[in-house]
């Protein structure tokens, strides 16, 4: 007789850990470099509080800030408090805050200041004794990429990167991972000389989003979709990350980087890999990464990049009922800049599953609305036994995974219009996280920071994936460098005409979310 609590064919002794139970980090601390920046204030500090509020951090957890501010510990505590009150996802609890605040420390200093890193080491060692962090510390580089080398060298010189006893040391690196293949390899070599491979966590916050992870469940936990997830049934795939904002105050970072390096090289190619990969033997890090790397190694660019790639730069226009300036008029931008704020690519994945199915990637700023989605557009039925007039408003079936802002999945299919005549048009079936689950989705940084502290690496791309991504993008960047200025498009529109022309040549059109 089968135990109702045990599914047939499973061995409870082999799977003694219930994955539905929350995973709680052991004794540890987190050191954030660049703790006064936007990322730390808007994302990292609130995420740490939310983890603490959910009971996923140990009682002795410690957070150390390092920056060029003449602050004492209490000043830093006030900064964290204000960031948490303004942006935390979970309700503010004074009891939770007081426990977290006991572990807050601040170390002032420049990145090239040997004495400051000596003070940081002293603080870390004191936390091990006072808070029981056990020698377990993660170092988060929330700093511009140009500062990576000096911080890494200081961590090595000061001995902070050295593991002591049974403790661990881990490094968290924010994108971009270099600006081309050569610089990415140089950075990887530098990181590898200080931290072991298993101790390096490259953050791509899109991989921490609930809907991105749901893509794996959608594909591999359901028999409904996988049989048609191939070139026999799929016409093409569109992956979009559109923003309705401009660069704001990020000109110092963005100008010279551009949309392709900022988004396509990491976020969109990762989404492509998850969409196109084969089923892994498990969701362990090595198995998952191996399948993604197979996809990225099979990606091919069009023979003629002039026809298979488009770029643009936003000009003044209207957005959200107000007039906005163009990119070249943004504060801090070089008036002669040729940096693209829109990029679109047509890619092929040369595998048996996807041969002949184009993948269209696009990203841009100052577009029609903020949305990130993966749209799998299916081929038309080979035969329609209807009059042409009955199906003139029928489009192609599509499955759309919405990553943000309204996380969920939509299926578009044809249905008869009520009435005496036979007319078929598109309808949608919609699943939304907000209406299907009582618990709100954790922020991406909550999941990723916890995974760093747990040492769980499946959601973090390793250097082979970074290498393959730059191999794909470098020829496009080189091509655009020879082409001169990008094509202008008005703010509030959906990009330059050349992007629409790229799709039209294939007999297709971009979705208008």
Hey, which residues are catalytic here?
A: 267
How are the residues of the chain apportioned to helix, strand and coil, as percentages rounded to the nearest 5? 40, 20, 40
Paired with 318 in beta bridges are 323
Of 469, 468, 483, 472, residue with least CA distance to 311: 483
H-helix or E-strand spanning residue 451: helix 444-454
Structure tokens given for 443:
């922020």
CA atoms of 127 and 147, how far apart (whole Å): 26
The answer to whether 172 touches 141, Cβ cutoff 8 Å, is: yes
Residue 484 φ/ψ, nearest 5 degrees: 90, -145
Task: Please give the full DSSP string across 237-254, using - where no structure is assigned.
Answer: EEEEEE-SS--TT-HHHH
CA dist 103 and 54 (Å) reads: 17
Q: CA 385 to CA 136: how far, in whole Å?
A: 67
Find residue 431's DSSP bridge partners.
Answer: 409
Q: Where are the beta strands (DSSP E) in 262-316?
A: 299-300, 309-315
380 DSSP 8-state letter:
P
Contact present, 489 and 304 (Cβ < 8 Å): no
> Using an 8 Å Cβ cutoff, are 240 and 363 in contact?
yes
In the numeric block, which tokens belong to residue 74? Answer: 């209490």
**Rounded-to-integer distance, Cα 426 and Cα 412, Å:** 6
Phi, psi at residue 466, to the nearest 5°? -60, -45
Instruction: Return the bridge partners of 437, or none.
Output: none
Q: Which residues contact 378 (CB under 8 A, 6 or more apart)?
A: 228, 233, 234, 235, 396, 397, 398, 399
CB 137 within 8 A of CB 128: no
Strand stretches in 129-198, DSSP E: 137-141, 169-174
């Amino acid at each position: 007789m089968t135990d109702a609590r045990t599914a047939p064919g499973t061995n409870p002794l082999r799977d003694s850990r219930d994955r539905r139970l929350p995973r709680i980090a052991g004794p540890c601390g987190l050191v954030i470099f660049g703790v006064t920046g936007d990322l730390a204030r808007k994302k990292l500090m609130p995420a740490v509080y939310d983890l603490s509020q959910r009971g996923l951090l140990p009682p002795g957890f410690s957070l150390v800030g390092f920056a060029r501010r003449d602050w004492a510990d209490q000043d830093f505590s006030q900064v964290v408090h204000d960031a948490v009150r303004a942006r935390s996802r979970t309700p503010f609890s004074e009891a939770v805050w007081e426990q977290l605040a006991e572990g807050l420390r601040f170390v002032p200093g420049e990145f090239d200041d040997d004495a400051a890193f000596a003070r940081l080491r002293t603080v870390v060692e004191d936390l091990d004794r006072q808070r029981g962090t056990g020698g377990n510390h993660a170092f988060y580089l929330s700093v511009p990429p140009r500062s990576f080398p000096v911080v890494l060298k200081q961590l090595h010189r000061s001995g902070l990167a050295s593991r002591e006893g049974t403790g661990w040391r881990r490094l968290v690196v924010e994108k971009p991972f270099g600006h081309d293949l050569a610089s990415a390899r140089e950075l990887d070599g530098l990181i590898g000389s200080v931290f072991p491979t298993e101790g390096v966590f490259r953050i791509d916050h899109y991989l921490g989003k609930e809907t991105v992870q749901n893509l794996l469940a959608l594909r591999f936990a359901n028999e409904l979709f996988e049989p048609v997830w191939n070139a026999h049934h799929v016409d093409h795939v569109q992956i979009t990350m559109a923003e309705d904002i401009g660069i704001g105050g990020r000109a110092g970072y963005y100008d010279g980087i551009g949309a392709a390096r900022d988004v396509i090289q990491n976020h969109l190619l990762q989404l492509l890999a998850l969409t196109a990969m084969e089923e892994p033997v498990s969701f362990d890090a090595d198995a998952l990464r191996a399948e993604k790397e197979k996809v990225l190694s099979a990606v091919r660019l069009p023979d003629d990049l002039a026809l298979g790639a488009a770029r643009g730069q936003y000009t003044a226009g209207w957005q959200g009922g107000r007039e906005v300036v163009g990119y070249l008029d943004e504060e801090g931008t070089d008036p002669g800049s040729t940096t693209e704020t829109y990029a679109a690519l047509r890619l092929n994945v040369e595998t048996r599953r996807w041969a002949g199915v184009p993948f269209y990637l696009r990203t841009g700023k100052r577009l029609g609305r903020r949305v990130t989605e993966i749209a799998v557009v299916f081929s038309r039925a080979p035969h329609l036994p209807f009059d042409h007039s009955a199906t003139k408003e029928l489009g192609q079936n599509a499955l759309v995974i919405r990553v943000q802002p309204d996380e969920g999945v939509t299926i578009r299919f044809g249905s008869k219009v009520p009435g005496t005549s036979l007319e078929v048009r598109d309808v949608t079936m919609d699943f939304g996280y907000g209406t299907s689950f009582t618990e709100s989705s954790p922020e991406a940084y909550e999941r990723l920071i916890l995974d760093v502290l747990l040492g769980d690496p499946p959601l973090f791309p390793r250097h082979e994936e970074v290498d393959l991504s730059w191999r794909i993008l470098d020829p496009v960047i080189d091509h655009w460098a020879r082409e001169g200025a990008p094509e202008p498009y008005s703010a509030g529109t959906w990009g330059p005409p050349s992007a629409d022309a790229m799709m039209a040549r294939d007999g297709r059109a971009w979705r208008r979310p």
